[in-house]
């Protein structure tokens, strides 16, 4: 058995291992945790691409790349295979987004970064341009915190709150129901106000405003996984192939509605 987990560095660009947080409220998921969880490996995976990949963009940056659920899930499964070799008597289960554990809280607990007012994890190497995943195991793994993070809080400069056109980032807490990224992904049509705000941002899926104005994202390392460099799609149209894309789960009806909403913007400009 190896106590050094450094072999995971070849698979996960930024990760940490910590004790399983017993007592946390679990979220519903179709995938079960190991019966006696003792440790968690948390990974923060960067997806920010060089600027030239975003020409004509009408989706949030996380949606320009291939579906991160698949990409990160495949990486986590690679890590699990290695871990099972060293801990053959233990169980391992991996999650990305659809997790029973509160992922941002867990990443903070593991020392990967801090929670910003925009409710996202902020890391020192990659800013908030990361997606999260974790491996939960019955193995008693050595605690390995991330040594790159010296932040204690996001700084609370309030720039994300001021820039949010929907007022989703108040002083009390993040209001998901007002978040334009959340609204763009709902089946229910957006209100006229929200539709106008999405047109103003030229967004057919998601919103990046809070991340764009965050000072922690200035000079963020651009080091996406090679999988994310394969066939990025910045502009969503009615004919865009949606297989292996993060918006595929919602289906073409909602995507078409959002694209048609942007056409209303074009119609106004032409008249």
Instruction: Give per-residue burial for 14-53: e unless 16+ CB within 10 Å, then b.
Output: bbbbbebeeeeeeeeeeeebbeebebbbbbbbbbbbeeeb
pLDDT of residue 194: 96
DSSP secondary structure string for all residues of 159-205 = HHHHH-TT--B-SS-B-GGG-HHHHHT-SSPPPHHHHHHHHHHT-SB
Looking at the fold, whether 104 and 170 belong to one and the same domain comes out as: no
Please determine, for residue 8, whether its predicted confidence score (pLDDT) is greater than 80.
Answer: yes
Considering the domain architecture, whether residues 169 and 257 belong to the same structural domain is answered as: yes
Q: Tell me the pTM.
A: 0.92
Q: 239-256: per-residue pLDDT in tens?
A: 999 999 999 999 999 999
| 163 and 131 co-located in one domain | no
Range of the domain at 131: 6-48+66-137
Residue that terminates a domain, selected from 137, 167, 185: 137
Q: Is 1's pLDDT higher than 90?
A: no
Q: Which pLDDT value is given to residue 271?
A: 41
Structure tokens at 29: 């998921």
For residue 2, pLDDT beyond 60: no
Within this chain, do residues 40 and 118 fall inside the same structural domain, yes or no?
yes
Task: Tell which residue, 176, 151, 180, has the closest CA to residue 163.
Answer: 180
Tokens at 116, concatenated:
């910003």
Of 173, 151, 137, nearest to 32 by C-alpha is: 137
Does residue 156 carry a catalytic annotation?
A: no
| pLDDT tens digits for range 129-161 | 999 999 999 999 998 876 556 677 888 789 999
Q: 4, 19, 90, 97: which one is catalytic?
A: 97
Let me know whether 33 and 124 are in one domain.
yes
């Amino acid at each position: 058995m190896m106590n050094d987990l450094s072999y995971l560095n070849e698979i996960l660009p930024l990760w940490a291992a910590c004790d399983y947080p017993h007592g946390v409220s679990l979220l519903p998921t179709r995938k079960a945790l190991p019966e006696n969880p003792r440790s968690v490996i948390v990974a923060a995976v960067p997806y920010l691409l060089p600027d030239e990949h975003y020409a004509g963009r009408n989706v949030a940056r996380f949606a320009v790349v291939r579906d991160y659920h698949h990409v990160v899930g495949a990486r986590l499964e690679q890590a699990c295979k290695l871990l099972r070799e060293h801990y053959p008597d233990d169980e391992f289960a991996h999650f990305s987004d659809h997790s029973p554990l509160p992922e941002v809280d867990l990443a903070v607990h593991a020392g990967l970064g801090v929670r910003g007012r925009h409710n996202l994890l902020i890391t020192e190497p990659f800013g908030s341009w990361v997606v999260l995943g974790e491996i939960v195991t019955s193995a008693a793994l050595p605690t390995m915190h991330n040594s790159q993070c010296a932040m204690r809080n996001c700084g609370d400069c309030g720039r994300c709150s001021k820039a949010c056109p929907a007022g989703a980032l108040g002083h009390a807490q993040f209001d998901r129901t007002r978040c334009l990224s959340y609204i763009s992904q709902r089946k229910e049509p957006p209100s006229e106000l929200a539709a106008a705000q999405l047109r103003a941002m030229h967004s057919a899926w998601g919103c990046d405003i809070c991340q764009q104005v965050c000072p922690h994202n200035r000079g963020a390392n651009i080091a996406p996984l090679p999988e994310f460099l394969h066939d990025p799609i910045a502009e969503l149209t009615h004919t865009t192939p949606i297989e292996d894309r993060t918006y595929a789960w919602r289906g073409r009806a909602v995507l078409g509605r959002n694209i048609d909403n942007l056409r209303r913007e074009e119609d106004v400009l032409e008249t």
